[in-house]
Structure 1
Amino acid sequence: MNEIAELSRWNRDISRTIASLGEESFFPTLFETISTQVQIDYPQVWLYHRDLPPRILYHHIPSNAVSSQVDQYLDGPYREDPFYQTSMRGPKAKIYRLSRVALGDLEKTTYYRDYYHTTGTVDEAVYISRLGGGNVINLCMMRLPEKGPFTDAEYERLYLLADPVSELLKAHSQHHHFAVEHLIQPGINHQIDLAFKTFGASLLSPREKDVLELMLRGYSTDTSAGKLDIAVETVRRHRKNIYRKLDVSSQTDLFSLFINALSCLGEAAGDDPLKVYMAPR
């Protein structure tokens, strides 16, 4: 493809993406635009905040890979994710490659041993966009073995797209419905610790509540068992009971319920915000 034709395609694709700002089609349209430049696999968009569990805003992952890509990630390993850590430290760049953030030692890390090697991917690049209130969006692009790691030329192309992609993510986040539904607003941070301590208390036993708080704070089953001085199997049994009593089926559902219940903290006045959130309207 000659340069004029390639530029014409890029202008067409980026125009479609701009037109989708504020719409549900924004993330898939943005990934389609990126995919015309570089082949990517398992596209995902994550929203991070230092004091809250991560939220997945969008993904296009085969159903048989969701457990390893999303649920297992949320079950503690995200804290060791070099992209998450980079995001929480105040990233200077708008794009990072896994080999760079892992400093070439990925296979020696607990993150690789406990999680990454099960994902079936061989490389990852992430666009990072810093928003207000400590919120950070990560747009993740992976590669499967059959396509191989990103080449230097492909990464250079992704690098050239970093500025428009970052600005598009910021512009999308400023649309009212997105900000209301997803972003932590200034002034609520001091209430988050209260939410950890009260969420679910009206429905769970004291020990189940202890386990739930550690889950929400991102601790794995093994770490939770150590902190509570109980057996791993006991933690697993408590987790199963928590899912049943809160009517959720995954870590993703649990975290979403917790985030949604934050809006009821004020009305709960120190009590379980779930009582307010789940009350008949």
Structure 2
Amino acid sequence: MRVDFTALFRTLADWTGRPAERSDRLTGETLLAMMRALVRFDEMVIFAYRDEARPIDLFSTFDADGYHVFVTLYQAGPYLLDPFYHTARAGRAGIFRMRELAPDRFFSSEYYRTYYSKTRLAEEIGFFVPAADGVTVVVSLMRREKAGSFPASEFALLADAAPFVAAFVRREWGDLAGRFAAGQGRSRRSEPVSATDRVWRKLNLTDREASIIEMVLQGHSSESIGLKLDISTGTVKVHRRNVYRKLGISSQIQLLSIYLKNLQS
């Protein structure tokens, strides 16, 4: 599509003329209008991440059913296996396609089959904006299966817009740490044991077993895990078999079910 400069500049003019205090909804709608002037997409969602805390949904365009899948179910635990979540936690900045960030077996993983496939997306692109106090805001643009992936020309245009998106997000949502603390009583940063670590301890896994199984759930192959942990592929497979035997399971879908059940208990 051609850039709609009229809509873009009108939105910019309205934004600069508004009062400093704005709601998440109004801010999200402003950014949505700007992005729609640049490229075609079906949905947009904006999440704020901090450590392992439940992400804050700042804005989205979903209907009720879509909100249940993309936000409610996601916040219940699957976010901990999401490539976007792990990229946000790493503090990376810029614009990325989901397929750039996903582990090598992500699209055949049980997480993908059980949760992500329900989204019925052809592609998801994210603007990653590190803000203050360990918070990263991710602006996700999504295209449904019927629309297909973002063409290279549109991705290049979005990449050119990334510095503006980052500046916009930092101005509008630059101080979110207090909202994480208010939502949890205290920040996860101060907790000595993370949510996932508590699950692994409850399941009586060793640190090495926990590291391997967590990467399995994220969608890493045995080869990928071996490279990241600097151990042989055979050693990875031995640890994986030991964990399955310890938990009395025989499949990744059972592993994911146990993980999510213990995560939420």
TM-score when normalising by structure 2: 0.65
Secondary structure (helix, strand or coil) at the match of 2:43 reads: strand
State the partner residue of 2:210. none
Describe the shift of the 1:97–1:193 C-alpha distance in structure 2 as closer, same or farther (beyond 3 A): same
| Corresponding residue to 2:259 among 214, 220, 223 | 223
Counterpart mapping for 1:141-152 below 5 A: 141-152=141-152
- For the pair 1:32 / 2:33, whether they are aligned, the reply is yes
Q: Distance in 1 between matches of 2:98 and 2:164?
A: 21
State the partner residue of 1:59. 60
Counterpart mapping for 1:1-281 below 5 A: 7=5, 9-20=7-18, 22-24=21-23, 25-91=26-92, 93-102=93-102, 105-174=105-174, 179=176, 182=179, 189=187, 192-193=190-191, 222-223=258-259, 225=261
What is the root-mean-square deviation of aligned Cα atoms in Å? Answer: 3.3
Q: Distance in 2 between matches of 1:27 and 1:66?
A: 15
Q: Deviations over 1:38-87 (max 9, x none)?
A: 11222111010004111111111011222111122122211111111011
Q: Deviations over 1:104-146 (max 9, x none)?
A: 6431234312311011211000111111111111111100122
Secondary structure (helix, strand or coil) at the match of 1:141 reads: strand
Describe the shift of the 1:95–1:2 C-alpha distance in structure 2 as closer, same or farther (beyond 3 A): closer
Paired residues of 1:49 and 1:88 also in contact (CA < 8 A): yes
Secondary structure (helix, strand or coil) at the match of 1:133 reads: coil
Describe the shift of the 1:22–1:172 C-alpha distance in structure 2 as closer, same or farther (beyond 3 A): farther
Q: Deviations over 1:6-33 (max 9, x none)?
A: 5554333323334455412111111111
Describe the shift of the 1:9–1:225 C-alpha distance in structure 2 as closer, same or farther (beyond 3 A): closer
- Letter in structure 2 aligned against 1:143: R
Secondary structure (helix, strand or coil) at the match of 2:54 reads: strand
Q: Distance in 2 between matches of 1:161 and 1:103?
A: 27
Describe the shift of the 1:19–1:166 C-alpha distance in structure 2 as closer, same or farther (beyond 3 A): farther
- Offset of 1:183 from its aligned partner? 5.4
Secondary structure (helix, strand or coil) at the match of 2:170 reads: helix
- Letter in structure 2 aligned against 1:223: Y
Secondary structure (helix, strand or coil) at the match of 1:161 reads: helix
Aligned residues: 201
Describe the shift of the 1:2–1:70 C-alpha distance in structure 2 as closer, same or farther (beyond 3 A): closer
- Letter in structure 1 aligned against 2:78: P
- Letter in structure 2 aligned against 1:23: R
- Consecutive unaligned residues of structure 1, counting only runs of 5 or more, are 198-209, 211-219, 228-234, 240-281
- Letter in structure 1 aligned against 2:75: L
- Consecutive unaligned residues of structure 2, counting only runs of 5 or more, are 196-201, 203-255
Secondary structure (helix, strand or coil) at the match of 2:191 reads: helix
Query: How much identity, in percent, do the aligned residues show?
Result: 20
Q: Distance in 1 between matches of 2:162 and 2:116?
A: 25
Describe the shift of the 1:72–1:225 C-alpha distance in structure 2 as closer, same or farther (beyond 3 A): closer
Q: Distance in 2 between matches of 1:75 and 1:22?
A: 30
Q: 4+ residue stretches of structure 1 with deviation over 6 A?
A: none
Describe the shift of the 1:179–1:67 C-alpha distance in structure 2 as closer, same or farther (beyond 3 A): closer
- Letter in structure 2 aligned against 1:140: S
- Letter in structure 1 aligned against 2:122: V
